[in-house]
Amino acid sequence: MKKRYLFPADYMADPSVHVFNGRLYIYPSHDWESENVENDNGDQYIMKDYHVLSTDDVMEGEVIDHGKVLDLQDIPWAGRQLWDCDVAEKNGKYYMYFPMKDRNDVFHHGVAIADRPEGPFIPQPDPIRGSYSIDMCVFKDEGEYYMYFGGLWGGQLQRYKDNKALEEPYLPSGKEPALPSRVVRLSDDMLQFAEEPRPVVIVDKDGKPLTADNPYRFFEAQWVHKYNGKYYFSYSTGDTHMLCYATGDNRFGPFTYQGVILTPVVGWTTHHAIVEYKGKWYLFHHDSVPSGGKSWLRSLKVCELEYDAEGHIRTIEGMD
């Protein structure tokens, strides 16, 4: 299968991808060389700004870097670490949602606004009220906008239960239900949550929630798309290093586990977006091959994604 490194000039990761005005826009994290020892808290991911990339030909065309569109030092509540962002368009304005640690090292979600998909994005003064954890995907469905979010370990999801901060983090183990991703409807002005976030439960073929010891359970990097009327919820399994997916009949789930989209890549993290462009489906993701395996220096990659006649996604080899 043909694959392509999209932007060899720099280390970028965590692609969120959308088609705006007929052009394909990529909103990645911008990786930085880090002196930190690699740890489970993700301290090696010290990103400080965002760039926007775009193209009109995914496998062959020129990928344009529109430059720096948001800088950590311009965000009033900034602490550190700009991780995976996403962008949505409403009424001609473009809203970038990004996770960042505040000065107490707690992740919240910021919003920054632009007049064009390629930015620049101007940050709001404060984070979204009640926001927590990382890795947002904003999905437009029937005229409303929904944000999916959450990530374990360094992503801090284990610090919350029922949308409240816990005194002590709690990570389920063994046969306990795995920690779920979250979904929330955004307010009409796109700047706040319109309701309390709800859990996104992934169940097996018997309708039982995947358990914490299941290697295919949710960890981080959620993405949602629709294919043939079905909702596809895809995600990274984190410490088992796969991209997997589950399907459902509505945006809130539960989603039934279906299979592996991408087997492990070189590097610890795996993270993706699935998008249709000019009649073909693509998997955008990253790996650490060009940096010689440094997990904090990742490179954007793309390949075609295929479904079988029943709508199952064909598994792609991560090491190819």
Q: Of 12 and 316, which CB lies nearer to ligand FUB in the complex structure?
A: 12
Spell out a b/e string for 255-265, using b for 16 or more CB atoms within 10 Å of the CB, else e.
Answer: bbbbebbbebb
272 close to 283: Cβ distance less than 8 angstroms: yes
- Establish whether 306 is a catalytic residue: no
| Shortest reach from residue 317's CB to ligand FUB, in Å | 19
Q: Of 110 and 151, which CB lies nearer to ligand FUB in the complex structure?
A: 151
**Residue corresponding to tokens 């290093």:** 241
Give strand pairing partners of 6. none
13 forms part of the interface with ligand FUB (CB under 6 A): yes
Out of 18, 271, 272, 294, point to the residue binding ligand FUB (CB under 6 A).
Answer: 271
135 forms part of the interface with ligand FUB (CB under 6 A): yes
Q: Of 84 and 118, which CB lies nearer to ligand FUB in the complex structure?
A: 84
- Count, in order, helices (H) and strands (E) of the chain: 0, 23
269 forms part of the interface with ligand FUB (CB under 6 A): yes
SS (H, E, C) 193-259: ECCCCEEECEECCCCCECECCCCCCCCEEEEEEEECCEEEEEEECHHHCCEEEEEECCCCCCEEEEE
83 forms part of the interface with ligand FUB (CB under 6 A): yes
Out of 50, 58, 63, 84, point to the residue binding ligand FUB (CB under 6 A).
Answer: 84
Cα–Cα separations (whole angstroms), residue 33 to 66, 168, 295: 21, 32, 10
Q: How far apart are CA 284 and CA 305, in angstroms?
A: 9
Interface positions, 30-69, toward ligand FUB (CB under 6 A): 45
Contacts with ligand FUB, 216-255, as mask; x by CB under 6 A: ----xx----------------------------------
Pairing mode of beta strands 255-262, 202-203: parallel
Q: Of 243 and 313, which CB lies nearer to ligand FUB in the complex structure?
A: 243
Amino acid at 227: Y
Contacts with ligand FUB, 87-116, as mask; x by CB under 6 A: ------------------------------
Amino acid at 285: H
Choice among 86, 135, 220, 287 that is catalytic: 220
- Establish whether 162 is a catalytic residue: no
Q: How far apart are CA 303 and CA 3, in angstroms?
A: 5
Q: Of 40 and 249, which CB lies nearer to ligand FUB in the complex structure?
A: 40
**Residue corresponding to tokens 């279906």:** 258
| Shortest reach from residue 208's CB to ligand FUB, in Å | 26
Choice among 10, 14, 38, 43 that is catalytic: 14
Out of 6, 7, 12, 14, point to the residue binding ligand FUB (CB under 6 A).
Answer: 14
| Shortest reach from residue 303's CB to ligand FUB, in Å | 18
Reported as type and span, the H/E element at residue 286 is strand 280-287
Give the CA dihedral 219, 194, 97, 77, nearest 10 degrees: -100
- Phi, psi of 240, rounded to the nearest 5 degrees: -110, 0
Out of 29, 156, 288, 299, point to the residue binding ligand FUB (CB under 6 A).
Answer: 29
Q: Show which residues are catalytic.
A: 14, 220
Residues that bind ligand FUB (CB under 6 A): 13-14, 29, 45, 83-84, 134-135, 151, 220-221, 269, 271
